[in-house]
């Protein structure tokens, strides 16, 4: 059974901070509960008060600007993201990723903000959003700030968020001309065994620059600048791409992967190499469509 | 501190008002307070789907969904499917296709498939499999369940 707690449902950000204050810090922000209630049930966490953020309007909604930059409220559910016309149009890789998160019940209740704030090392969105140079907006009683995904997630289940701060929104930049972004994973269970997010920019038929992020191998999602550099210069043609991926795959082969119930370190590195090829191919296709 | 809260919700179209603890899950409230034991709890971790119910038309895992979050909402459980002893086409199709053996997953399968068919009345076989991905059955091997959902969709045509 879930340990006893009091429940508060603020209707504004100001009320949420007031509820935090009233609880004397012995509290947790709560939205979908797909992670939080699970760890409370297992006895790993206990709080005097849960502060339900689902009725705080400042934390909801998805919007896009004219260029296609997205702003996704922290309490938007995975299911809302996978169906959002804005996301489907401007960042189809995220909609596709969200369609494959856990199962439909988790997607109906779990939120993007909660996923990032929980910082599970196998998070799907964290890995892809890292490759997309997404930024998160935080707010606290002391004011607002924003940061990159790798500034937010600093360890397994660990973020740089202050206890009294909360995630407000996630911002994903508009794709540049010739840019494509894609994500590939393999999952045997609810969370991926390995996952790769890729951003490429194609200029004159070749990859001009790229970002490669890898999730589920180490205790947090990581960007591998050397892998991105190894993709630069490759021709944006499927057959030639496959032949030229060796150097980037070799970079992934050096990752100090953590063996887990999904497989050995060697196996997970192998998976990451395969997934890199799939993600690059998809990203290049999208980039050519944006050229 | 033992806090209780008053919630009001519709359960299978009947109004219910209850005083509960915030920590009580929807599965707890349905089973232990309302006697609706058709909703089964198996994995207790949102993985198996046995406890699937609909809240405002969306499927949720009742085992990890706080009942306070259903306050003001409409909950549907397997007990709400048949009317006056008349099974829904989906329930009848489960019988006709022998889509259960032990039956423990069946209430969750029925609710997941009900949500699927309400949203997409004529799904393809792949769409049925996708819609039921995350509802586990250890007896049937799934084929009769998928066949039953397709049969129900056909019957509703």
Question: Based on the domain organization, do A66 and A142 belong to the same domain?
Answer: yes
Provide the pLDDT for residue B133: 93
Q: Phi, psi at residue B119, to the nearest 5°?
A: -85, -35
| Residue A1 in contact with partner chain B when CB distance is under 8 A | yes
Question: Based on the domain organization, do A68 and A161 belong to the same domain?
Answer: yes
Tokens representing A49? 């008060």
Residue A133 lies in a domain: yes
A-chain residues near B120 (CB < 8 A): none
Residue A229 lies in a domain: yes
| Residue A50 in contact with partner chain B when CB distance is under 8 A | yes
Question: Based on the domain organization, do B41 and B63 belong to the same domain?
Answer: yes
Interface size A-B, in CB pairs within 8 Å, comes to: 72
State the pLDDT confidence band at B1, using cuts at 50, 70 and 90: low
DSSP annotation of A235: B
The CATH number of whichever domain residue B30 belongs to comes to 3.10.20.30
Residue A143 lies in a domain: yes
User: Which residues lie closer than 8 Å to B2 by C-beta, 6 or more apart?
Assistant: A4, B21
Provide the pLDDT for residue A240: 86
Distance in angstroms (rounded) separating the CA atoms of residues A3 and B3: 12
Q: Residue B20: in which H helix or E strand, if any?
A: strand B14-20
Provide the pLDDT for residue B152: 97
| Residue B123 in contact with partner chain A when CB distance is under 8 A | no
Range of the domain at A44: 6-51
Q: Which of A1, A99, A104, A106 to mutate to test the interface with B (most CBs of B within 10 A)?
A: A104
Provide the pLDDT for residue B156: 78
Final residue belonging to a domain, choices A113, A147, A172: A172
Q: If contacts are CB pairs under 8 Å, which of residues 75-104 in chain A contact chain B?
A: 79, 102-104
Question: Based on the domain organization, do B93 and B36 belong to the same domain?
Answer: no
Residue of B nearest to A191 (CA): B47
Final residue belonging to a domain, choices B80, B106, B129: B80
Residue of A nearest to B51 (CA): A105
Closest residue to A7, CB basis, from B22, B44, B47? B22
Residue A1 lies in a domain: no
Q: How many domains does chain A have?
A: 3
Question: Based on the domain organization, do B76 and B17 belong to the same domain?
Answer: yes
Closest residue to A105, CB basis, from B2, B44, B52? B52
Provide the pLDDT for residue A173: 98
Provide the pLDDT for residue B157: 59
A-chain residues near B58 (CB < 8 A): 79, 108-109
Residue A113 lies in a domain: yes
Provide the pLDDT for residue A289: 86
Tokens representing B37? 């034991």
Provide the pLDDT for residue B155: 87
Question: Based on the domain organization, do A162 and A65 belong to the same domain?
Answer: yes
A-chain residues near B26 (CB < 8 A): none
Pick out chain A residues at pLDDT < 50: none
% residues pLDDT > 90 (chain B): 97
* CB within 8 Å: B66 and A1: no
Residue A154 lies in a domain: yes
- pLDDT (mean) for B60-75: 98
Question: Based on the domain organization, do B127 and B76 belong to the same domain?
Answer: no
Distance in angstroms (rounded) separating the CA atoms of residues A194 and A270: 9
The CATH number of whichever domain residue A29 belongs to comes to 3.30.43
The CATH number of whichever domain residue B134 belongs to comes to 1.10.150.120
Asked if pLDDT for residue B6 goes beyond 70, the answer is yes
A-chain residues near B65 (CB < 8 A): 33, 109
Q: Phi, psi at residue A94, to the nearest 5°?
A: -75, -40
* CB within 8 Å: A37 and B5: no
Question: Based on the domain organization, do A84 and A118 belong to the same domain?
Answer: yes
Question: Based on the domain organization, do B93 and B76 belong to the same domain?
Answer: no
Average pLDDT, chain B: 96
Question: Based on the domain organization, do A101 and A195 belong to the same domain?
Answer: no
B-chain residues near A100 (CB < 8 A): none
A-chain residues near B61 (CB < 8 A): 105-106, 109
DSSP conformation letters of A36-69: HHHHHHTTS---SEEEE-TT-GGG--EEE-TT--
Residue A66 lies in a domain: yes
| Residue A106 in contact with partner chain B when CB distance is under 8 A | yes
% residues pLDDT > 70 (chain B): 99
* Residue A76 C-alpha from the chain's centroid: 13
The CATH number of whichever domain residue A223 belongs to comes to 3.30.390.50
Residue of A nearest to B67 (CA): A7
The CATH number of whichever domain residue A91 belongs to comes to 3.30.465.10
Question: Based on the domain organization, do A63 and A168 belong to the same domain?
Answer: yes
Q: How many domains does chain B have?
A: 2
Range of the domain at B138: 89-155
Distance in angstroms (rounded) separating the CA atoms of residues A86 and A84: 5
User: Which residues lie closer than 8 Å to A47 by C-beta, 6 or more apart?
Assistant: A5, A26, A27, A28, A40
* Nearest to A56, CA basis, from A75, A71, A40: A75
């Amino acid at each position: 059974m879930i340990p006893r707690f009091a429940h508060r449902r603020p209707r504004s950000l100001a009320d949420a901070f007031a509820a935090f204050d009233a609880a004397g810090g012995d509290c947790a922000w709560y939205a979908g509960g797909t992670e939080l209630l699970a760890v409370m049930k297992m006895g790993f966490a206990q709080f005097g008060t849960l502060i339900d953020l689902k009725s705080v309007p400042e934390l909801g909604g998805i919007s896009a600007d004219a260029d296609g930059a997205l702003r996704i409220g922290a309490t938007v559910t995975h299911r809302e993201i996978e169906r959002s016309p804005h996301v489907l149009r401007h960042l189809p890789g995220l909609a596709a990723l969200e369609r494959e998160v856990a199962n439909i019940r988790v997607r109906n209740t779990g939120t993007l903000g909660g996923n990032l704030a929980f910082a599970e090392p196998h998070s799907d969105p964290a890995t892809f959003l890292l490759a997309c140079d997404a930024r998160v907006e935080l707010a606290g009683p002391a004011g607002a700030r924003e940061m990159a995904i790798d500034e937010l997630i600093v360890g397994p289940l660990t973020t740089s968020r202050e206890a009294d701060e909360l995630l407000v929104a996630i911002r994903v930049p508009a794709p540049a001309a010739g840019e494509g972004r894609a994500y590939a994973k393999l999952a045997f269970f609810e969370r991926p065994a390995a996952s790769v997010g890729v951003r490429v920019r194609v200029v004159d038929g070749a990859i001009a620059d790229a970002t490669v992020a890898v999730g589920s191998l180490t205790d947090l999602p990581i960007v591998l600048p050397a892998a991105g550099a190894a993709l630069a210069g490759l021709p944006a043609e499927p057959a030639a791409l496959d032949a030229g991926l060796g150097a980037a795959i070799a970079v992934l082969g050096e990752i100090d992967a953590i063996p887990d119930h999904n497989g050995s370190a060697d196996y997970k590195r192998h998976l990451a190499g395969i997934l890199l090829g799939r993600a690059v191919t998809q990203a290049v296709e999208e980039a050519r469509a944006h050229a | 501190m033992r806090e209780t809260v008053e919630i009001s919700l519709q359960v299978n179209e009947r109004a219910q008002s209850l005083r509960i603890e915030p920590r009580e899950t929807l599965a707890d409230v349905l089973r232990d307070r309302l006697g609706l034991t058709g909703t089964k709890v198996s994995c207790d971790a949102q993985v198996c789907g046995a406890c699937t119910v609909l809240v405002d038309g969306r499927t949720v895992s009742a085992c990890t969904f706080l009942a306070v979050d259903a306050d003001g909402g409409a909950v549907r459980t397997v007990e709400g499917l048949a009317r006056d002893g008349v099974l829904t086409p989906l329930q009848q199709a489960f019988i006709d296709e022998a889509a259960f053996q032990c039956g423990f997953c069946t209430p969750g399968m029925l609710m997941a498939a009900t949500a699927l068919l309400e949203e997409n009345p004529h799904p393809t076989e792949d769409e049925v499999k996708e819609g039921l991905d995350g509802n586990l059955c250890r007896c049937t091997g799934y084929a009769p369940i998928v066949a039953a959902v397709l049969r129900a969709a056909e019957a509703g045509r």
